[in-house]
């Protein structure tokens, strides 16, 4: 099991790779004209898991990670890899 940030077109996405190789996008941060928007994935509607207008990418990443979105997939002992991986081609 791996949890890491991957570069995306206008920001970064938090990715979970399970032991069987399946991949889930579980959060993200993107740059906008007004700052950074961040979201942590949820099953259902939870507006508290998204925020707009943050000042930095790191602030957005801390916001997303604070929800431990990997726990939705039964992963409770996760460490986020500090190295951001390049976008997939």
| Contact (CB, 8 A) for 25 and 12 | no
pLDDT band at 12 (very low <50, low <70, confident <90, very high): very high
Please check whether residue 21 lies inside any domain of the structure.
yes
Residue 37 belongs to some domain of the structure: yes
Residues paired with 51 in a beta bridge: 38
The answer to the question of residue 87 being in a domain is: no
Q: Is 67 helix (H, G, I), strand (E, B) or coil?
A: coil
* pTM score: 0.93
Domain presence at residue 61: yes
- Give me the pLDDT at residue 88, please: 84
Residues in the chain: 89
Number of domains in the chain: 1
Residue 18 belongs to a domain = yes
Domain boundaries, position 35:
2-82
Which tens digit of pLDDT belongs to each residue from 29-47?
Answer: 999 999 999 999 998 888 8
The pLDDT score that the predictor gives to residue 28 is 98
Per-residue pLDDT, averaged over 19-25, amounts to 94
Q: Sheet containing 2-8: which strands, arranged edge to edge?
A: 50-54, 35-40, 23-32, 11-17, 2-8, 80-85
């Amino acid at each position: 099991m791996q949890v890491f940030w991957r570069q995306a077109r206008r920001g970064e996405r938090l990715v979970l790779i399970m032991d069987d190789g399946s991949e889930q996008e579980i959060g993200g941060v993107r740059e906008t004209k007004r700052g950074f928007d961040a979201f942590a994935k949820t099953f259902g509607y939870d507006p508290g898991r998204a925020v707009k207008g943050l000042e930095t990418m790191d602030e957005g990443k801390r916001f997303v990670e604070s929800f431990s979105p990997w726990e939705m997939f039964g992963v409770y002992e996760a460490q986020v890899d500090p190295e951001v991986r390049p976008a997939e081609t």
